[in-house]
Amino acid sequence: MRYYSLNGKAPAVGFREAVVQGQAPDRGLYFPGSIPVLPATFWNRISTIDDEEIGWRVLAPYVGDALPEAELRRIVRETLSFPLPIVRVTDRMSVLELFHGPTLAFKDIGARFLSRCLGYFARDLEQRVVVLVATSGDTGGAVANSFYGVPGTEVVVLYPSGKVSPVQERQIAALGGNVHALEVAADFDTCQALVKQAFADAELRERIYLTSANSINVARWLPQQLYYALAWKQWAPKETPPVVSVPSGNFGNIGAGLLLQRSGLPLPHFVAACNANDAVPAFLETGQFPRRAAQATLSNAMDIADPSNFIRIQELFGNDRNALRQVLRATRTGDAATRATIRQVYEEQHYVLDPHTAVAWQGLEQVLRPGERGLVLSTAHPVKFPQVVSEETGAAVPYPASVKGLLDQPLRQAALPASYDALRSLLLQLC
């Protein structure tokens, strides 16, 4: 498989190079040169195929010969090492729980696949690969946890001091080993600016292999197709496929679902559920992207004004807005309705939604037509947002066992002054 840059000014590359580079040299996102189609027998008999085999069938065409078959199968197995159950909450509404991974969020799936691909590719390099990320909370934990102990990799996570929750801080800073947690006495934007400066530092990049592990990397994007296939495997009865509602921020998650639809996934309708950051709903309505700054909301992982992966969805639909609207409905849900949804679903069904999942539930209710059934993708465990959830349900959210142990762990972070020189010399010392 070749990947071309959506900016059109860089050469096409294979899977390995696309993963190691992350972003094309012309700053475009990589996009697959062709989309594989899986035969009808695969989709019809999916309930009889085991998960690893499904993962391998979906991803092998995208990986090509960049990984040996046994290696790709091992990576798929390690990516799918936690349950992804569908819970039927009402007759009309079900939830696909994607939050049973080590950091309790769906990002664990993409990050695990990416880390293992990079670990494999790093074997042939004479140096370790340095993964550098700035985080406002969630991404840092998923990346740190996924790369922890992967040979040939060093992970550097910058986080703003005092701005991440105790659980998030431990997910980033309790690991040690090849995970270097740097606490910066500044806000997230400053952390992000330091990281961007490192990526723009050509001289530094000649000396170390620096990679970003962010959500535009194809090895984070493509494996997200797997849980759509596994949802279809579990869905019964198969005659009435659900409308799938996806809490959307950067649009990588829903983009992966729409990509798998091209490979034959029999799920005809998707909902891009947004919070007050409604660039895509506005675009689908008017054909124009509003120019607004991101607004802070309760579903903060979706507070994105300019969703970077949406360009992949437009490419998938040949930049034809009307074609896209046949498949995709887009909704907006404000904080008040998010809270009311958490409260109502708890009172009526005793099911606890996190704020991101509540946005997707509410969006689906706005657009679900009579006779349709809905499937809500749940991207985070409610315990990650204890305050708003307990305010609406009146009950504390119990910690899962995995997190309880974490809270007793000592932190191993180092303080980093908010200066690029300090970050640069630290990075050079790692190799």
Closest to ligand PLP by CB, 95 or 208: 95
Q: Nearest approach, Cβ of 104 to ligand PLP (angstroms)? A: 9
As a whole number of angstroms, the distance between CA 58 and CA 260 comes to 8
Q: Nearest approach, Cβ of 198 to ligand PLP (angstroms)? A: 22
Residue 362 touches ligand PLP, criterion: CB under 6 A: no
Residue 302 touches ligand PLP, criterion: CB under 6 A: yes
Q: Nearest approach, Cβ of 107 to ligand PLP (angstroms)? A: 5
Q: Nearest approach, Cβ of 228 to ligand PLP (angstroms)? A: 13
As a whole number of angstroms, the distance between CA 160 and CA 262 comes to 40
Closest to ligand PLP by CB, 159 or 209: 159
Closest to ligand PLP by CB, 135 or 153: 135
**Which of 195-204's residues contact partners 24+ apart within 8 Å by CB, and which partners?**
195/132, 195/133, 195/134, 195/158, 197/420, 197/423, 198/132, 198/420, 198/423, 198/424, 198/427, 199/132, 201/424, 204/424, 204/427, 204/428
Using CB under 6 A, which of the segments 76-84, 247-255, 257-265, 329-337 binds ligand PLP? 247-255
CB-CB neighbours of 180 under 10 Å: 25
Using CB under 6 A, which of the segments 193-201, 251-259, 290-298, 334-342 binds ligand PLP? 251-259
Residue ranges with strand state E in 173-285: 179-184, 209-211, 243-247, 270-274
Closest to ligand PLP by CB, 191 or 301: 301
Residue 376 touches ligand PLP, criterion: CB under 6 A: no
Of 103, 146, 248, 277, which one interacts with ligand PLP (CB under 6 A)? 248
Using CB under 6 A, which of the segments 14-22, 120-128, 174-182, 250-258 binds ligand PLP? 250-258
As a whole number of angstroms, the distance between CA 280 and CA 253 comes to 14
Residue 105 touches ligand PLP, criterion: CB under 6 A: yes
Closest to ligand PLP by CB, 105 or 194: 105
Q: What is the DSSP string of 383-399?
A: GGSHHHHHHHHSSPPPP
- Record the tokens describing residue 2, joined without a space: 């070749």
Q: Residues 348, 292: contact at Cβ < 8 Å?
A: no
Residue 247 touches ligand PLP, criterion: CB under 6 A: yes
Residue 220 touches ligand PLP, criterion: CB under 6 A: no
Q: Nearest approach, Cβ of 301 to ligand PLP (angstroms)? A: 3
| Residue given tokens 């437009």 in the structure block | 314
Which DSSP category does 90 fall into?
Answer: S
Q: Nearest approach, Cβ of 112 to ligand PLP (angstroms)? A: 15
Q: Nearest approach, Cβ of 103 to ligand PLP (angstroms)? A: 9
Residue 301 touches ligand PLP, criterion: CB under 6 A: yes
Residue 216 touches ligand PLP, criterion: CB under 6 A: no
Residue 253 touches ligand PLP, criterion: CB under 6 A: yes
As a whole number of angstroms, the distance between CA 363 and CA 367 comes to 7
Helix (H, G, I), strand (E, B) or coil at 251: coil
Of 211, 379, 393, 413, which one interacts with ligand PLP (CB under 6 A)? 379
Burial of 282 by CB count in 10 Å (0-12 exposed, 13-18 middle, 19+ buried)? Answer: middle
Which DSSP category does 380 fall into?
Answer: B
Using CB under 6 A, which of the segments 43-51, 248-256, 311-319, 362-370 binds ligand PLP? 248-256
As a whole number of angstroms, the distance between CA 213 and CA 150 comes to 14
Q: Which of residues 106-165 bind ligand PLP (CB under 6 A)?
A: 107, 138
- Record the tokens describing residue 312, joined without a space: 């992949």
By CB under 6 A, name the binding residues for ligand PLP.
105, 107, 138, 215, 247-253, 301-302, 356, 379-380
